[in-house]
């Protein structure tokens, strides 16, 4: 009796190899198979991981970027079949795309990879994607290192500084974070972390159960899955207190509201790990492989971002490829409650409204901002935006016409989109576009402060150096751009990311040295938040990007 | 910079084929590679799926049965490394194991497979396991067939029979279920279903929201993933009203308490699908791939069983290899709440206590009964039992010493284990062994009825025909066996499974014709539940196994 079960056999040129694995025939590989030496294969695999996997995925099924499998075939709802793949595009066309980029948003890599690397990469992506290994809880436990024992933690700050106005700054390409005294502008430490830290999070004030000393402990997540714990009460040479690796590829981290757990999200393996916030001992792993909003199984369904909900004992885990936000209740790890909230693909980064109830996140490939009600654990709204919204830490303020609003920049276009976000006080404006402001170019970050009259937006994704090096300042009253500020004219440097100081009187902008990024040629440029005049610069930073003010981040000042 | 990412390459003899796929070399396959002709490979794959995959898994990582991968390597918590695999065992040893079975519980297949099939199977399992395809929501939708439109459903029973005392009987090897009038003992219909139906479920009375006409609609799940909907109010020729396929390999199905949804659980793909109970239109798929209770990712984490919770708007989904019970809230499919309750491996089948609050399920490879509190959505207890508990539909009764108790048979040993299950009224006895009764042999099912003085246990797993053909009756007052009844002496026939009629005055036992199982040589043997004397036999059944009385099953009579 046939049970209707059929096993996939490759329909492409590499099929012979697979058929051999399946043992049916011992045919030789086809002559036209793309091949690389083992050395070139390994080098390409590593380069692909560093430069390509973020957008295309290690299994190359695509996300923000296109599918890069050797061969793919899709059947649409109406029965239309489309085929494609890197084998069809071929070596020459692939080399051109890699070198020059595309209008669809692909960067040009001609200045990042050598000619030979581009050639090999074109070949590599015509070959079957190798699948990286899994990582078990036991394996994670073996990676834990403690630099300062818990009993040696200080009971008060050892440096006598105003640590609530410290800034922790990502030094992207050297795998460090800098700690800067926001009062004196001194760089206190360059703390070793994982590679290319994407984000770091502190313990925050919480409505239900306050953590001990909010803002004291910071947790970083490297792109290599290494999480480190930083204690800002220590003397600068001892601030790194512990570390653990929870994935091979990762992006985000968050602390539970009670400060007891840290959660790290993996790109590969696609999972999240819950770690004891005191000891950094891994406690639990949860796979995020799942079925997406279209009802299709996704093997590489990655954790794009994780946030602590300020009013509930939960985290929001954004599972990028599923288009789902998983609200994870951390009150009982052995009976773990997860609400899988359907929204849209592909989820990226987000921020809360000022009440802490609504979480606003970009589904950037769907050109939407998604809003989750963390009180009901349900989808609240989806807002159509311009192309590829990317709010970063986001911005909330009060608009004279719409009441409370929030805004986002976009990766795809020079637009700041602003929507109402107060369904209780302003139901007619809630989750509707209030206005859009055109900027000079697409950017990554938007930011403001309750004490400031202005909203700042960067333009880091614009190809022209002059625009990339400039940020724009929007007046909250009018929604108009009141000033464009060129941070630098140095070749190979861009302006990126904003953070206010504790009082909201200063705005810190990164002068990001993309070129020679492992040298301390980056700066932080500080502006008077009222006059918009430059106050000064902090030198000696290695590729500074994201900045996190202790007070603002642990008090939900966005 | 090395990011610590390493990709698995096969460390075994088949590595050359894999290396070729990875494109590093174009070496020929090793001469000693096990090979089969394409025809023999396909035949073995199909036979493996039918006979072996249930215990060993399609990916052969093992569950109730052992790991059957060509090569495996394990590192224990203390660092000890063990290696093994079918390649190490070799052709000859594998053939012997398949033919003769093992003391560990593996059946002998010498009378099920031919000598050539055994030879090929030994080779097949030394080869890399082929991975079956996924199945999307869109693919499921294409398989739906409607035989009776909803507007043509009758508004009252069309046959004038006492349908609440109907029995629905699985006719395992012909892919049918029989409908039998429990009053007249007439076989009304043999309804085509999926292959080898494992279980079927009806709409049941529910504490929160009563379904329309509990017990009227029955939903079957075939081993081939085909779900069918049966309407007992129809004339027998029209009882099959709709069908849909939700997996390639599956075991269980359940109806939501409100009767609005049906959920089907897949072995492959490892997922569950929620279907509109009226139209059989698939609505949602949820992958059950996940991280097990030991913190390891499991690709083949199968849905062993699904149950509707009588007091909550949820289902219990037993994810076998994860050792987790997922309590799935069906009140909002777009914001799906799942509580992932950690328990023990490998979960199999279970039943509720009489209050409907506590769910008791076998983790049979751990020799435990697991108890979940469906009110709190948390693990309540784990009870150590004899080897491989298997309660089937289970049995609850009142013991003179322990108060309310439940019991299970075991696959591994001739024992009925009885435990207290009334934590409110008898906290000292709750979830503790009350007593154990030794039977003549290991069995599959235990059953009783509130109106009966006896508990019945089968011994289907015993190798001796005489024991296999006998069932034993235990007195609820004494816990002693009061009678052993040999159902049949026919060669190739076994006694299996019990069901009481609506009033609890009759016990129905299957005479299961394992031999010539596609012929109508099976019987149901009916006993007086009070005198334990045989009343009569129903002939003309094809391999009858499980039996489901409409009233008992829709009124939680266990």
pLDDT of residue A6: 34
Residues A359/A365/A366/A371 CA torsion (nearest 10 deg): 0
Q: Is residue B143 classed exposed, middle or buried when 0-12, 13-18 and 19+ CB atoms within 10 A define those classes?
A: middle
Residue B83, classified by CB atoms within 10 Å of its CB into exposed (0-12), middle (13-18) or buried (19+), is exposed
Would you state the pLDDT for residue B108? 87
Q: Give CA–CA dist A63/A347, Å, rounded.
A: 10
Q: Is the peptide bond before B437 cis (omega within 30 degrees of 0)?
A: no
Backbone φ/ψ region at B118: left (φ over 0), alpha (ψ -120 to 50), beta = alpha
Is residue A170 within 8 A of residue A497, CB to CB? The reply is no
Mean of the pLDDT values across residues A262-277?
98
**Is the peptide bond preceding residue B297 cis, with omega within 30 degrees of 0?**
no
CB–CB contact A50 B340 (8 Å): no
If one compares A26 and A454, the residue with the highest pLDDT of the two is A454
- B284 CB neighbours in chain A (<8 A) are 291, 295
Query: Could you give the residue numbers annotated as active site of A?
Result: 52, 55-56, 106, 348, 390
d(CA A309, CA B518): 59
Average confidence (pLDDT) over A370-378? 98
* Interface residue B34 vs chain A (CB under 8 A): yes
Kindly state whether B93 is in contact with chain A, defined as any CB-CB distance less than 8 angstroms: no
Q: Look at A296 and B332 and tell me if their CB atoms are within 8 Å.
A: no
- Tell me the C-alpha to C-alpha distance, in Å, between residue A137 and each of A244, A269, A289, B32, B363: 11, 12, 16, 36, 22
Residue B112 main-chain phi, psi, to 5 deg: -110, -35
- Give A 379-398 residues with CB within 8 A of chain B: 379
ipTM of the complex: 0.90
Instruction: Using the structure block, give the residue that is written with the tokens 């919770």.
Output: B309
**R_g of chain A, CA atoms, integer Å:** 24
Residue B32 banded pLDDT, cuts 50, 70, 90: low
Residue identified by tokens 């049949």 is B488
Predicted pLDDT of residue A16:
32
Strand-pair partners of A286: A272
Give the count of alpha carbons within 13 A of A118, CB side only.
Answer: 18
B131 with A20: Cβ contact below 8 A: no
Q: Of A20, A41, A337, which is closest to B17 when you measure between CB atoms? A: A20
Q: What phi and psi, each to the nearest 5 degrees, are found at residue B43? A: -65, -40
Q: Which domains does chain A have, with CATH numbers?
A: 1-32 (no CATH), 34-124 (1.10.760.10), 135-161+194-342 (2.140.10.20)
pLDDT at A184 over 90: yes
Mean pLDDT of A265-280: 97
B3:A249 CB<8 A: yes
What angle is formed at CA A133 by the lines to CA A131 and CA A134, rounded to 5 degrees? 125
pLDDT of residue A2: 35
pLDDT at B415: 98
Q: Does B73 touch chain A (CB under 8 A)?
A: no
Stretch A10-14: mean pLDDT = 30
Strand bridging mode B493-500 / B481-486:
unpaired
* pLDDT reported for residue B102: 85
What token pair was written down for A58?
């290690």
Structure tokens at B3: 């990011």
HSE value, Cβ hemisphere, 13 Å, CA-based, for B67: 13
Q: B34 to chain A, minimum CA–CA distance in Å?
A: 7
- pLDDT score for B7: 34
Largest Cα separation within chain A, whole Å, is 80
A6 touches chain B (CB under 8 A): yes
Q: Which residues, 6 or more positions from B309, have their beta carbon under 8 angstroms from its beta carbon?
A: B257, B315, B316, B327, B352, B356, B359, B374
A61-68 long-range contacts, Cβ below 8 Å, gap at least 24? A61/A298, A61/A299, A61/A300, A61/A321, A63/A302, A63/A320, A63/A321, A63/A345, A63/A346, A63/A365, A64/A105, A64/A346, A64/A348, A64/A364, A64/A365, A64/A388, A65/A106, A66/A104, A66/A106, A68/A125, A68/A129
Beta carbons within 10 angstroms of residue B478's beta carbon: 12
pLDDT for residue B91: 95
The answer to whether the CB of B129 falls within 8 A of the CB of B59 is yes
pLDDT at B31 (0 to 100): 42
Q: Is the pLDDT of residue B550 over 60?
A: yes
| A235 reaches B (C-beta below 8 A) | no
Burial class (CB in 10 A: 0-12, 13-18, 19+), A267: buried
pLDDT at site A10: 33
Record the pTM.
Answer: 0.91
Give the angle A103-A108-A114 at the CA atoms, nearest 5°: 155
Query: How much of chain B, in percent, has pLDDT values that exceed 70?
Result: 94
The percent of residues above 90 in pLDDT, for chain A, comes to 87
Average pLDDT for B57-80: 87
The confidence score (pLDDT) of residue B107 equals 81
Helix, strand, coil percent content, chain B, rounded in steps of 5: 15, 40, 45
Residues of B in contact with A292 (CB under 8 A): none
Residue B67 predicted with pLDDT over 90: yes
A91-114 mean pLDDT: 89
Element (H, E) at B110: none
Q: Helices A115-124 and A38-51 sit at what angle, rounded to 10 degrees?
A: 90
DSSP 8-state class, residue A130: P
pLDDT at site A32: 64
Q: Looking at the partner chain, which of A7, A18, A50 has a beta carbon nearest the beta carbon of B133? A: A7
Stretch among A108-112, A543-547, B264-268, B388-392 having the lowest mean pLDDT: A108-112
* Nearest alpha-carbon partner for B456 in B405, B420, B507: B507
A271 Cβ partners below 8 Å, 6+ apart?
Answer: A135, A247, A265, A285, A286, A287, A288, A289, A303, B291, B297
In this structure, the dihedral spanned by the alpha carbons of residues A246, A252, A256 and A262, taken in order and rounded to 10 degrees, is: 20
Residue pairs spanning A and B at CB distance below 8 A: 229
pLDDT band at B40 (very low <50, low <70, confident <90, very high): very high
Instruction: Report, as an integer, the average pLDDT of B89-102.
Output: 94
Mean pLDDT of B11-30: 32
Region B478-501: what's the mean pLDDT? 97
Collect all residues of chain A within an 8 Å Cβ-Cβ radius of residue B1. 195
The 10s digit of each residue's pLDDT in A441-479 is 999 999 999 999 999 999 999 999 999 999 999 999 999
Determine the distance from the C-alpha atom of residue B83 to the mean position of all C-alpha atoms in its chain, rounded to a whole number. 31
Which residues fall within 8 angstroms of residue B210, CB to CB, at 6 or more apart? B258
pLDDT over 70 (residue B26) = no
């Amino acid at each position: 009796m046939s049970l209707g079960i059929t096993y996939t056999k490759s329909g492409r040129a590499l099929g012979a190899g697979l058929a051999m694995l399946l043992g049916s025939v011992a045919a030789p590989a086809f002559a036209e198979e793309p091949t690389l030496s083992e050395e070139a294969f390994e080098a390409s695999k590593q380069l692909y991981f560093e430069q390509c996997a973020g957008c295309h995925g290690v299994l190359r099924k695509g996300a923000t970027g296109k599918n890069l499998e050797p061969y793919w075939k899709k059947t649409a709802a109406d029965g239309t079949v489309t085929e494609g793949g890197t084998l069809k595009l071929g070596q020459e066309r692939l080399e051109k795309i890699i070198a020059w980029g595309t209008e669809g948003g692909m960067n040009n890599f001609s200045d990042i990879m050598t000619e030979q690397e581009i050639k090999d990469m074109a070949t590599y992506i015509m070959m079957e994607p190798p699948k990286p290994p899994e990582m078990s809880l036991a394996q994670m436990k073996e990676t834990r290192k403690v630099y300062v024992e818990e009993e040696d933690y200080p009971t008060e700050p050892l440096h006598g500084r105003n640590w609530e106005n410290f800034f922790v700054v990502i030094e992207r390409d050297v795998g460090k974070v800098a700690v800067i005294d926001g009062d004196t502008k001194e760089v206190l430490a360059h703390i070793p972390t994982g590679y290319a830290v994407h984000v770091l999070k502190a313990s925050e004030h919480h409505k239900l159960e306050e953590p001990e000393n909010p803002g004291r402990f910071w947790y970083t997540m490297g792109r290599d899955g290494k999480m480190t714990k930083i204690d800002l009460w220590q003397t600068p040479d001892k601030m790194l207190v512990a570390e653990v690796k929870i994935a091979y590829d990762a992006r985000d981290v968050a602390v539970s509201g009670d400060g007891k757990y840290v959660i790290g999200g993996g790109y590969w393996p696609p999972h999240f790990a819950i770690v004891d916030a005191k000891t950094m001992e891994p406690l639990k792993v949860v796979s995020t492989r799942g079925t997406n909003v279209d009802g299709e199984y996704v093997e590489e369904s990655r954790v794009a971002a994780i946030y602590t909900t300020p009013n509930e004992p939960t985290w929001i885990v954004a599972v990028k490829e599923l288009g789902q936000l998983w609200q994870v209740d951390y009150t009982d790890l052995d009976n773990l409650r997860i609400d899988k909230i359907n929204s849209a693909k592909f989820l990226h980064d987000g921020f809360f409204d000022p009440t802490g109830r609504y979480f606003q996140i970009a589904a950037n490939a769907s050109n939407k901002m998604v809003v989750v009600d963390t009180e009901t654990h349900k989808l609240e709204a989806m807002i159509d935006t311009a192309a590829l919204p990317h709010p970063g830490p986001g911005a909330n303020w009060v608009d004279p016409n719409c009441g409370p609003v929030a805004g986002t920049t976009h990766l795809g276009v020079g637009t700041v989109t602003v929507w109402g976000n107060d369904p209780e006080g302003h139901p007619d404006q809630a989750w509707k576009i209030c206005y859009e402001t055109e900027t000079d170019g697409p950017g990554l970050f938007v930011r403001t402060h309750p004490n400031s009259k202005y909203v700042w937006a960067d333009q880091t994704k614009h190809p022209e150096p002059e625009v990339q090096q400039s940020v724009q300042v929007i007046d909250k009253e009018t929604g108009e751009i009141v000033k464009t500020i060129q941070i630098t004219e140095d070749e190979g440097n861009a302006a990126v990311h904003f953070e206010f100081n504790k009082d909201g009187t200063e705005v810190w902008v990164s002068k990001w040295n993309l070129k020679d990024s492992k040298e301390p040629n980056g700066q932080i440029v500080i502006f008077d938040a009222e006059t918009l005049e430059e106050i000064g610069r902090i030198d000696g930073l290695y590729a500074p990007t994201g900045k996190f003010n202790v007070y603002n981040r642990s008090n939900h000042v966005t």
